[in-house]
Structure 1
């Protein structure tokens, strides 16, 4: 096949716990050579969000193009023990990335963190590498290395590598559930090549070299292993790259709001961000952005590698994240069940020299990480299936008008686990965010006048029309996608005075995914919650 007719290669980069404001292309003064180059030679999205703030469900959404709230995935361990639990077990009839690309002749490889029930090979990937996984004898084409092998190849004495957390110096700590946790710090003799991040990107380059030699189109998914996820233990020069005094206190750092769900107040009080002054928090945040800078250098090196291999011209590169990073916003260090912008807004940049992109465009389209799958499918000449929840944003890459529906919005979710009593769904537009809390007070934020989301206006009569509009839109999204919100909860979403109120019995049963090929174990683990016949509450 001639170079002109060859399908595009695809390189996906996914980072973990990555704030949208870590990118200079989003208007912030940060060291971001990798994302800057992608945004300048492609398109940067300033208002991209995740579908959900939990790592595993978000990654399932990216692999399937389906909302995790409809797949029955409320948290990181649903239906099993350990990280990943039973998140989308293999062989349950839900298509993932390789199911779409391998029939089109693509080689599909995965490097780094997956955070699902199985390994990437179980979902159809040809090859897999992770720092703590030995893929020898299982991969089809690629000889994966362990982290120790990677270190040896780099000429690093494995025994000389310091522990990542046990010997932190000058660590900032946070208080959670009665325990002080190390949150950030610095290690003596700790270098960039000592990190799992460096290993992951190095393995990604080796995988691309392997596929290039096979002379076939490829999809390589490179997932930074727990980076820039906390603990923020950073090698030099990144640990000292930012002066903590550069970071002014977040406007919502001391958020003592009372008109929020009781659950959110409890979580906020557990985190106790006010246990240390902002100056100490700024020390940790400076380390966080140093860690982001290290990833940027890895990404920039990867782009240079594509240049050197003469692959850049015909390769789609998309960089996004599973979720954002609160870092003290609204009184929480890590994620919780509130749907706040600091946790949900993420980086998203894309480049494809042959794709007709409007290079240098900064788009405010409300795209999401789950939308990446149908987008790269369209760019590769493949048709996304009609039932996929996510939408291709390829038109936005060309500078054309794009929105998800009649109203420009994005849908976000969290929870749904009956054990946590935390079922949260939200609709965000450019102007407002409506948050539906199934068992507590709802939230409405005017993002134009209150971007820090400090004033819940759910009881403001001046907002009644907007609330009604967003509730109806949310109801439509839930029913169209088969969300597993309880039927009784639907009743609060619709107010129909002419009909004398909304009949909850008219709501559809909780999601068809809970039966047949899509049974992910909810009935097994919660027999009181679903009946085998209809999936309704027993």
Structure 2
């Protein structure tokens, strides 16, 4: 276990969004969007250009953050709303960073989305704050209704519903609507206000030397449906929106499930001007959250906690918003939903850094532990980011992996990407290989292209090795169906011919 360095900040503020595209941040896309508060946070700390989720689905990703373990290890593989038979809560006895911090004397708070299981609430993991379950803003929650009443604010009401048409002719999922409330009445403002009030309480305890704090704000947005007051609903001009190049998607040479998911999300039933408006409103949603994060960060500064508090900003996964003729997320491992924001500011460490190492949510777990003076290796699938945040040139992973287990139905996938190429293994149909340098929008599946045969073999063998080393049993499928290279074991799990558990390749 590492010794706590008293020069390190002990408090931690963790800001998280849900279903958040990287290109909606000004620090990533200054020509099209403005997020001044998050851009300032990035300028005062480190922005990770290549931050990724371990899986593009809420509950498993959030469970990985909490445990520091990949989904195949913690086994919480699906959102409970669409659960198709997987477990619904983390197994008892599973390591969590919250328990480790509590044992180290931290006060824990969480305001916002929990969505880590069905029965065990945030309070069961040591977090103070209102219990806010589910995948969308729970606008009927008693604590939120009390907030509206105490502040003389109008109730939730929407109009102008935007939705497409499903293949069976029924109305599609709600995608956006106008919210008839002022900003002060929005759920986002309510969450920021709760965080601010908690900061005041935690600051008093920290100043008196009683205990440091870990405080998280988990916004439910910019997850669809995008429900915004007028000033943010109309903040961006739809006519100035450029549709993503991947709307040219044909799904030729791709797994058929992607075409089915496009139909589920009704993209082709929406007019082009509606698709532009949805992108505009989504960016407006990010702008609203940026404003609320500014309120929280201003409070941190006004309380004199800047020099003693590390700040994280990230998301559980991305969002399609029309890319590849899709919305939401699902069984398609594109950059749009696997790449996430990654900003960390640690007082005393360099500002204005942009790092290109592959990092992820489990690395945040390891870093939280390290900041608290605890052993970061307890996050078994993460590595502390502190050396990178300090500007050090240290050995780091040369590739990243991701996994998916299903949403609406079981659908196993594994992915590996390196600096240029991405390989995706889809047992139900066809595998995918993308050259992200020549095809950054992932329109052309080159898995069977002869010019990339060596790349395919290299990434297949590397993914197989990593999965086997970790104990991810998906590797059994690959040993039978993919060119994984010479085997040094019996993938059938039975040595009928040799009478030994050691396999000799023919």
Judge same fold: TM > 0.5, yes or no: yes
SS at match of 1:496: coil
1:403–1:290 distance in 2 versus 1, CA, 3 Å: farther
> How many residues are matched?
475
Q: 1:43 aligns with which of 46, 69, 74?
A: 46
**How do 1:161-176 residues align onto structure 2 when only pairs under 5 Å count?**
161-163=155-157, 167-169=158-160, 171-176=161-166
Please list, as runs of the form range in 1=range in 2, the aligned pairs for 1:159-308 lying within 5 A after superposition: 160-163=154-157, 167-169=158-160, 171-178=161-168, 179-180=170-171, 181-188=173-180, 190-215=181-206, 216-224=211-219, 226-308=220-302
* 8 Å Cα contact 1:436-1:443 kept in structure 2: yes
**Cα distance in structure 2, aligned partners of 1:93 and 1:429:** 34
1:496 alignment partner, one of 485, 489, 498:
485
Give the 3-state SS of the residue equivalent to 2:196 in structure 1.
helix
Distance 2:100 2:142 in 1: 27
Aligned counterpart, 1:440: 429
Gaps of 5+ in 1: 134-143, 508-538
- 1:505 pairs with 2:495: no
Displacement of 1:6 in angstroms is 7.5
2:383 aligns with: 391
Distance in 2 separating the partners of 1:196 and 1:130: 14
Query: Are 1:403 and 1:409, in contact at CA under 8 Å, matched by a contact in 2?
Result: no
Is residue 43–residue 359 contact of structure 1 (8 Å, CA) maintained in 2? yes
Q: 1:254 to 1:187 in 2, by over 3 A?
A: same
How many angstroms does 1:78 deviate by? 8.7
Aligned-residue offset at 1:416: 5.7
Give the drift of 1:425.
0.6
- Tell me how far apart the structure 1 counterparts of residues 224 and 18 of structure 2 sit (CA, whole Å): 9
Residue of structure 2 equivalent to 1:129: 130
- In 2, distance between residues paired with 1:22 and 1:196? 20
Aligned to 2:148: 151
5+ residue gaps, structure 2: 135-140, 495-506
Kindly report which structure 2 residues correspond to 1:508-523, keeping only aligned pairs within 5 A, or say none: none
Aligned to 1:411: 401
Match of 2:472 in 1: 483
Question: What TM-score do you get using the length of structure 2 for normalisation?
Answer: 0.87
Measure how far apart 1:182 and its partner are.
2.6
Per the alignment, residue 392 of structure 2 pairs with: 400
Matches of 1:145 and 1:421, distance apart in 2: 35
Q: Is the 8 A contact 1:23 1:32 kept in 2?
A: yes
Q: Deviations over 1:290-333 (max 9, x none)?
A: 01000001111111100110101110000100110101111111
**1:272: how far off?**
3.4
Preserved CA contact (<8 Å) 1:168 1:233: no
Indicate the residue corresponding to 2:22 in structure 1: 20
1:32 pairs with 2:35: yes
Q: Give the equivalent residue in structure 1 for 2:56.
A: 53
Secondary structure at 2:281 match in 1: helix
Measured in 2, the distance between the counterparts of 1:145 and 1:372 equals 32
1:463 aligns to 2:452 (yes or no): yes
Moved more, 485-494 or 49-58: 485-494
Task: Report the Cα distance in structure 2 between the residues aligned to 1:444 and 1:191, rounded to whole angstroms.
Answer: 47
